[in-house]
Amino acid sequence: MKKLSKNTLNGFINYALVVVLFIVFQILASAKVLNNSMTGLLIPICCYVVMALSLNLVVGFSGELSLGHAGFMSVGAFGGVVMSTYLSNAITIAPLRLVVAVMFGALFAAAAGVLIGVPVLRLRGDYLAIVTLAFGEIIKNIMNCMYIGRDSKGLHFSLTDEASLNMEAGGVTIVNGPMGALKIAKISTFASGIVLILITLFIIQNLVNSRAGRAIAGIRDNRIAAEACGVPITKYKLMAFVTSAAMAGAAGALYGLNYSTIVPKKFDFNTSILILVFVVLGGIGNLRGSIIAAIVLTALPEALRQFQDYRMLVYAIVLILVMILTNNEKAASFISGMVKKIKAPKKEAKA
Amino acid sequence: MSENIKKREEVKLVSVPSPYLVPERNAGKGLVLEANHLGIDFGGLTAVDDFNLGISPNEITGLIGPNGAGKTTVFNLLTKVYQQSRGTIFLDGKDTMGMSATQVNKAGIARTFQNIRLFDKLTVEDNVKIGLHNSINYGMWQGVFRLPIYWKEEKKAHDRVLELLSIFDMADMADMPAGSLPYGAQRRLEIVRALATEPKVLLLDEPAAGMNPSETAELMENIGKIRDEFGIAILLIEHDMNLVMGICEGIVVLNFGKIIAKGTPSEIQNNPVVVEAYLGKSHDEETADQGDDTEAGKTVDTDKGGSSRNADAGKKADAGKGKNRKKGGRR
């Protein structure tokens, strides 16, 4: 049971880290240390942290490269926004409506995850990566020509144009094709983002340390051996994929409800890659790393605003440096040596 | 000829309505694993052909043969890593046709691998717990929300893991990553993991490979102990003849994908066909080729059904190849 307690301890450190970050950012924001644009980034940061954590479940624990993660975020974002607008009269309490919208976002994304996962998870490695990339683009393009409106009769859907929604006079178009969702009631809050991160952490950490999580990790380490142990491969790959998609959908809903307009183009290949960068940079299979990488890399472009034209150049250099420093053995031993030197005097002082 | 085949012939054969190529099968004896006319082709190459084998519950059987004889392919067929091109496999009376590797494991067959396949990044305990996968009873959400059943089942699994590991005195290694274990311990862990799936038949692919004589002796003792304690049948591939002759009750010799001999250890040791397969024949014997071929043919063919006609043709070609190789390589 010693190992279990070590894992539990690691989990609690992650929860504590998130809570501490929440308090720190809350204080910084209320003390006006953060400028406006930084304060505006707090909720997107939460969304990206959830995205990175959920992608880590697929890439780190299930060991499959998925390049279409932004697609699920897109499904969740539009699903959540539509539900939120649809229920705006039925549920007047904004936080409750947010919870319901996020849950619907997760549900829609999970459904998309099942639809895509069943055919796609027969593939492995590079092939899977390519097909998930394609599916991410397909979702984006479907969203690009999706028209959803609402009138007294209920919701109307169309894939051609706004006129074909056939709404009564006074009907409201919620999603207007390439223009995206308009006039969204902004109901996301920083606190709700933190709660979503905590829920995501809770699900992933507990899943990984259970029977299902062991099966998922076993399939990653050795598929043939897992099969020979009686583990149904497709079921557990799908479980990881769909759980990950659902959490991405929840993050998407939170993200969508933070802006007054969102366009489908936002959730393209670049966003998928950005999230993958968070995961790889934070360490594949390392949840704490994903959290930190998502925060730093989302805030970095904002912090680098003073470099103006050279902003993306500096961003790229920072990425390269971090990659080298974390993956180079000499650099790693140098850093650990430095850490030891710093820690050693403290220990002596204690003794 | 060998005793086992004679025994099999005495048993009443009952015709079974089956869409597969086997007209009749042994229904008189309670065999736990039965392969009939098993064969597989990879493209034009026949890797295993007309492989017949019956294992009684609680029997230790050895599968031996020179390198490349198709021993591991037989294991892969029995555990459904490959689907057979011909023939049938009955596991405890159940036809395993069309089953996946996962299903056939649940039906009661477990194996180890020649090139060790552990879950390297997981701990020894988690490796065995994956073996216990199908005997742990709680679902994904019960695990996520840590309901009481999670704690109960995990405790039960933990105790069982330590119990299984203690067969090989490995309980103190439970927390180590499986990839960091020494070679011998990795092999033993594979056996433990296979046992955790509660098999009726355990297939061991070269369990003693890379072990020193004292480790091998210990392993022999443990294999016997496992058979007695778990009451299971064991089929093992091994090149260490001391181990094979020491613990196996029946031995099957495979060469070029075909069974060339079956029998007890002493019969096999004195069988000229087996000696030839391992050492090649002397120059004098080569002149009497014709006689040898017919003898080998008798050993293999127990039926002359339509399905074995192709096999016969293949066999002649194979035998020719074999002679060439022996002439060139080892005499």
Element (H, E) at B205: strand B201-205
- Count of the separate structural domains present in chain B: 2
> Is residue B263 predicted with pLDDT exceeding 90?
no
Q: Which residue of A has its CA nearest to B134?
A: A230
**Is B125 found in the same domain as B189?**
yes
What lies within 8 Å, CB to CB, of A42 at 6+ separation is A25, A29, A190, A193
The C-alpha of A21 sits at a distance from chain B's nearest C-alpha, in angstroms, of 25
Sorting pLDDT into bands at 50, 70 and 90, what band is B5?
A: very low
Same domain, B96 and B57: yes
Counting beta carbons within 10 angstroms of the beta carbon of residue A87, is it exposed (0 to 12), middle (13 to 18) or buried (19 or more)? Answer: middle
Confidence of residue A142 (pLDDT cuts 50, 70, 90): very high
Task: Report the predicted TM-score, pTM, of the whole model to 2 decimal places.
Answer: 0.82
Residue A53 has pLDDT above 90, yes or no: yes
Mapping DSSP to helix (H, G, I), strand (E, B) and coil, where does residue A88 land? coil
pLDDT digits (tens, 9 = 90+) for B267-308: 888 888 888 888 777 666 555 544 444 444 444 433 333 343
A205: tokens are 């950490």
Residue B141 structural domain: 109-198
Please name the helix (run of DSSP H) or strand (run of DSSP E) that holds residue A17, with its range, or none.
Answer: helix A2-30
Cβ pair B105:A3 closer than 8 A = no
* Residues B130 and B271 both lie in one domain: no
Collect all residues with Cβ–Cβ distance below 8 Å to B270 and sequence separation of at least 6. Answer: none
The mean pLDDT of chain A is 88
Instruction: Decide if A197 contacts A294 (C-beta within 8 A).
Output: no
Higher-confidence residue: A71 or B316? A71
Mutate: best of B117, B137, B202, B203, partner A, most A CBs <10 A:
B117
| Highest-confidence segment of A210-214, B229-233, B308-312 | A210-214
Pick the residue of B75, B123, B128, B133 with the most A CBs within 10 A to test the interface with A by mutation. Answer: B133
Average pLDDT on A307-313 reads 77
What tokens appear for B159 in the block?
A: 């105790």
B209 and B94 assigned to the same domain: yes
Residue B9 vs residue B173, higher pLDDT:
B173
- Under a CB-based contact definition with an 8 Å cutoff, are residues A69 and A276 in contact? yes
Calculate mean pLDDT across residues A165-182. Answer: 84
Residue B21 shares a structural domain with residue B145: no
Per residue, the 3-state secondary structure of A292-339, as one string, reads HHHHHHHHHHHHHHHHHHHHHHHHHHHHHHHHHHHHCHHHHHHHHHHH
Give the pLDDT confidence score for residue A4 in this predicted structure.
56
Q: Which of A1, A7, A12, A229 to mutate to test the interface with B (most CBs of B within 10 A)?
A: A229
- B220 domain-assigned: no
CB of B105 within 8 Å of any CB in chain A? yes
Q: Which of B198, B222, B249 is the last residue of a domain?
A: B198
Percent above pLDDT 70 for chain A: 96
Does residue B58 sit in the same domain as residue B133? Answer: no
In a domain, B143, yes or no: yes
A68-81 burial code (b ≥16 CB/10 A, e <16): bbbbbbbbbbbbbb
Residue that is last in its domain, among B152, B173, B198: B198
For residue B285, what pLDDT is reported? 56
B239/B101 same-domain check: yes
Contact across the interface for B145 and A206, Cβ inside 8 Å: yes
In a domain, B208, yes or no: yes
Band of residue A347 on the pLDDT scale cut at 50, 70, 90: low
Average pLDDT over residues A159-171: 80
**Per-residue pLDDT at B4 exceeds 60:** no
Q: Which of A62, A210, A234 to mutate to test the interface with B (most CBs of B within 10 A)?
A: A210
pLDDT band at A170 (very low <50, low <70, confident <90, very high): confident
Residue B227 lies in a domain: no
Q: What is the pLDDT of residue B286?
A: 56
Tell me: pLDDT of B61 over 70.
Answer: yes
pLDDT at A348: 56
**Secondary structure (3-state) at A146:** coil
**Residue B261 shares a structural domain with residue B204:** yes
Same domain, B46 and B179: no
Contact (CB, 8 A) for A78 and A175: yes
The angle at the Cα of A273, spanning A268 to A277, to the nearest 5 degrees, equals 150
| Higher per-residue confidence, B77 vs A283 | B77
Contacts of B133 in chain A (CB under 8 A): 211, 214-215, 229-231
pLDDT over 80 at A54, yes or no: yes
Query: Which residue of chain A has the CA closest to B126?
Result: A214
Residue B68 predicted with pLDDT over 80: yes
Taking CA atoms, A115 is separated from A27, A55, A62, A120, A121, in Å, by 43, 18, 18, 9, 11
Question: Which positions in chain A touch B145 (Cβ < 8 Å)?
Answer: 206
Residues B184 and B88 grouped into a single domain? no
Q: Are residues B12 and B90 in the same domain?
A: yes
Instruction: Report the distance separating Cα A324 and Cα B198, nearest Å.
Output: 47
More confident residue, A34 or B258: B258
Distance (Å) from the C-alpha of residue B310 to the closest C-alpha of chain A?
32
Average pLDDT, chain B: 79
Our measurement of the distance from residue A329's CA atom to the centroid of its chain's CA atoms, rounded to an integer in Å, reads 30
Q: Which of A278-292, B16-30, B55-69, B165-179 has the lowest mean pLDDT?
A: B16-30
Confidence of residue B11 (pLDDT cuts 50, 70, 90): very low
Q: How confident is the model at residue A328 (pLDDT cuts 50, 70, 90)?
A: confident
pLDDT on residue B298 = 41
Place of tokens 């180079």: A328
pLDDT at A238: 95
ipTM for this prediction:
0.84
Whether B82 and B210 map to the same domain: the answer is: yes
Q: Which residue in B81, B130, B138 is closest to A231 by CB distance?
A: B130
Smallest Cβ distance to B119: which of A4, A210, A221? A221
Residue-wise pLDDT for B125-142, tens only, equals 999 999 999 999 999 999
Residue B199 has what pLDDT? 94
- Residue A3 or residue B121, greater confidence: B121
Instruction: Give the residue on A whose Cα is nearest the Cα of B136.
Output: A211
Determine contact, residues B62/B251, Cβ cutoff 8 Å: yes
The CATH number assigned to the domain holding B158 equals: 3.40.50.300
B37 touches chain A (CB under 8 A): no
The mean pLDDT of A118-122, rounded to a whole number, is 90
Which residue from A198, A196, A180 is spatially nearest to A188, judged by alpha carbons?
Answer: A196
Q: Inform me whether the pLDDT recorded for B189 exceeds 60.
A: yes
Residues of B in Cβ contact (< 8 Å) with A206: 143-146
Q: Is residue B13 part of a domain?
A: yes
Task: Kindly state whether residue B62 falls inside one of the protein's structural domains.
Answer: yes
pLDDT band at A39 (very low <50, low <70, confident <90, very high): confident
Judge whether B221 lies within some domain.
no
